[in-house]
Structure formats: structure tokens, C-alpha cells
Amino acid sequence: MTAYVFPGQGAQYPGMGKDLYERYPQARALFDEADSILGYALTRVMFEGSEEELKETKVTQPAIFVHSLAMVSLLGDAFRPDAVAGHSLGEFTALVANKTLSFGDGLRLVYQRAMAMQKACELVPSTMAAIIGLDDSIIEEVCDDIDDIVVPANYNCPGQVVISGTETGIFKAMEELQKRGAKRTVKLQVGGAFHSPLMEPAREELAGAIENTAFANPLCPVYQNVTATPVTDPAEIKKNLVAQLTSPVRWTQSVQRMIADGIDTFTEAGPGKVLQGLIRKIDRTVTTGSISLPE
């Protein structure tokens, strides 16, 4: 059984998608539609923009979303997933891939999400940090003990958890986690505390947009970040998607559950190979790969 997985923020790179646009009419059609929906030339920033331009949340999120779905478009009728999942932003991509959302509705939600997150980031000085080489339980305990907002945000793979919170809280946590035996603590170059209570204003803003968007019955289950379980009910998918902004991304748990449910092949669709690397660290017995470009 095969699951298709879709990356989140951080997978972008300058020039992303240019080869797809130039070589494949079905991919070009999606890129052109995205420019039209957004009302600005996303493709120009993707193909010609600097690394700095691409890092802006309002650019990054739509860019990764469109690139991933352009890859899926190349498969045509050969795209037959048994399940889908996405890391953070990638969950929206997964929901378009499995026909829960239309491309246009998915892109509009992604753009609204990006803008809402950007606004929330500007309210409080906040950041994120990767913690390498510690048990999840120790990280959770340290976060709980700090008298500031600090929470586990991404359970990426065993031994790699990202924490999220106020700048002062994150520095306190990094210091304490080093004392508790972390191999490395790395402050991330991000604009704010994603997947933490500090994203509450963004969650409220996005909740209305999601509620007013049509969600169809999916082709296959989506393993959602918030619950790490397979979901097919559109109402439940909506609820989990809203909760995702202030809840941790349970990627390790999602992959483990997919494997327990019989998934033995994971195909990553989108820029980079981040998720393949994480999946191999979670379980080396499964097959991982990405969509190969047809010649």
C-alpha cells in the first residue's frame, strides 16, 4: 500500500518549479491558475526570486503547495494513493490531492493561512528551535516547567523535536535541554512560533474561512497532524485543520500509524526530500521515494 506525503515550509528553493513549467503543459496550467487566483506573479518569485523573497511566509506556503500539486498532475490517472498525509502546510496539499478540496479553494485557504500566520507572528517576539537527541518525554517535561509559552511543535522523528514559543521562553528551554543532554539545540530562522498557542489569532481567522469552504468526501483517508489518525469525514477534517495551527504536528506518530495500518511505500511529492529522510529515521524497513519526472 502506498501513501503520498507532502512537505511543509522549509522545502522551498530558488528556481523551484521552473523546469516543470517549461516542460509540462499540465503543470504550466496549474502555475498559471495560481497566479490568476492570487492576483500576483507567484511564479516569478518561484522561478527568479532570491532565497530571502522565497522565505516570506506569504510566498513560501503557496509556492510549496503549487509545486507539490504540479508534481502530482504529472501522474494523471496513475495517481492512486491508499492514503495521504502532509507536514503542517502539506496537509492542505494532501487534501487537494485526495479531492477533499478543489485546487482553487485549497490555494485560497493556504494564502489566507499564510497571511494570518504572518500577522500573528508580528504580535509577540517568538521563534522555534530544533532539539536533537533527546526523548520526547524530557522535552515535554522541560517545556511544561518553563514559566513562559514554550511547547513541542513538531514531532519530526525519534530524536528530533521542534519547540515553539516566545523568544525568552525558547532560550530558557534551549539552555535547560542542553543541561538535560540534548546533542544539539538549533534556533530556527522562522518569523514566529508556529503550532503554538501564540498562533491563536491566526487560528480564529482561518476557522471562518475553512468553515465557509466546501469540503468533499475524500478519495482516500488523510492522516492528520493533530490526531495522527486516518480521517475521511469532511466535518472532522475541517475541525482538525483549524486545530492544526495551535497544535503540534505529530509526524512521527502519523507515519507509525500508517505503517501499522499496512502502508509500506511512501512517495514524497514536492520540492526537496525532507520527509523521505524523516520517514527513514522513523522506520528503515519501508520504501521511500519521490515522483520521478517523466521524460
Distance CA 218, CA 237 (A): 10
| DSSP 8-class letter at 224 | -
Percentage of the chain modeled with pLDDT above 90 = 86
Task: Report the run of H or E that residue 1 belongs to, with start and end.
Answer: none
Which cell is 195 given? 503550532
DSSP secondary structure letters along 118-164? HHHHTTS-EEEEEEES--HHHHHHHHHHSSS-EEEEEEEETTEEEEE
Q: What is the pTM of this model?
A: 0.94
Distance CA 44, CA 41 (A): 5
DSSP secondary structure letters along 6-39? E--TT---TTTTHHHHHH-HHHHHHHHHHHHHHT
Distance CA 265, CA 171 (A): 39
Q: 295 lies in a domain?
A: no
Structural domain ending residue among the three candidates 187, 208, 240: 187
Structural domain ending residue among the three candidates 153, 187, 221: 187
Shared domain for 257 and 180, answered yes or no, is: no
Is 70 exceeded by the pLDDT of residue 294? no
Full residue range of the structural domain in which residue 20 is found:
2-121+197-290
Shared domain for 141 and 108, answered yes or no, is: no
Which cell is 16 given? 523551484
Q: 148 lies in a domain?
A: yes
What is the residue-averaged pLDDT of the chain? 94
Query: What pLDDT shows up at residue 11?
Result: 83
CATH number at residue 280: 3.40.366.10
Shared domain for 208 and 107, answered yes or no, is: yes
Shared domain for 206 and 99, answered yes or no, is: yes
Is 70 exceeded by the pLDDT of residue 292? no
Percentage of the chain modeled with pLDDT above 70 = 99
Shared domain for 66 and 98, answered yes or no, is: yes
Shared domain for 236 and 183, answered yes or no, is: no
Q: Which member of 67, 87, 126, 195 is catalytic?
A: 195
Number of structural domains (the chain) is: 2
Q: Report, in angstroms and rounded to the nearest whole number, the Rg of the chain calculated over CA atoms.
A: 18
Shared domain for 73 and 168, answered yes or no, is: no
Q: 218 lies in a domain?
A: yes
Distance CA 130, CA 45 (A): 28
Shared domain for 281 and 210, answered yes or no, is: yes
Task: Report the run of H or E that residue 45 belongs to, with start and end.
Answer: helix 42-48
Q: 254 lies in a domain?
A: yes
Q: Per-residue pLDDT tens for 172-224?
A: 999 999 999 999 999 987 878 999 999 999 999 999 999 999 999 999 999 99
Q: 140 lies in a domain?
A: yes
Q: Is position 87 annotated as part of the catalytic site? A: no
Q: 234 lies in a domain?
A: yes
Query: What pLDDT shows up at residue 293?
Result: 65
Shared domain for 209 and 246, answered yes or no, is: yes
Shared domain for 221 and 282, answered yes or no, is: yes
Question: Confidence class of residue 23 from pLDDT cuts 50, 70 and 90?
Answer: very high
Cβ 230 vs Cβ 273: under 8 Å = no
Q: Which member of 67, 68, 87, 88 is catalytic?
A: 88
Q: 192 lies in a domain?
A: no
CA atoms within 13 A on the CB side of 270: 34
Q: Would you tell me how many other CB atoms lie within 10 Å of the CB of residue 39?
A: 8
- Residue 285 has φ and ψ, to the nearest 5°, of -85, -15
Shared domain for 169 and 203, answered yes or no, is: no
Q: Is position 102 annotated as part of the catalytic site? A: no
Q: 26 lies in a domain?
A: yes
130-155: average pLDDT? 96
CATH number at residue 171: 3.30.70.250
Question: Confidence class of residue 51 from pLDDT cuts 50, 70 and 90?
Answer: confident
Shared domain for 12 and 76, answered yes or no, is: yes
With a CB cutoff of 8 Å and minimum separation 6, the contacts of 193 are 121, 124, 126, 127, 128, 149, 153, 164, 165, 166, 170, 199
Q: Per-residue pLDDT tens for 86-109?
A: 999 999 999 999 999 999 999 999
Is 70 exceeded by the pLDDT of residue 229? yes
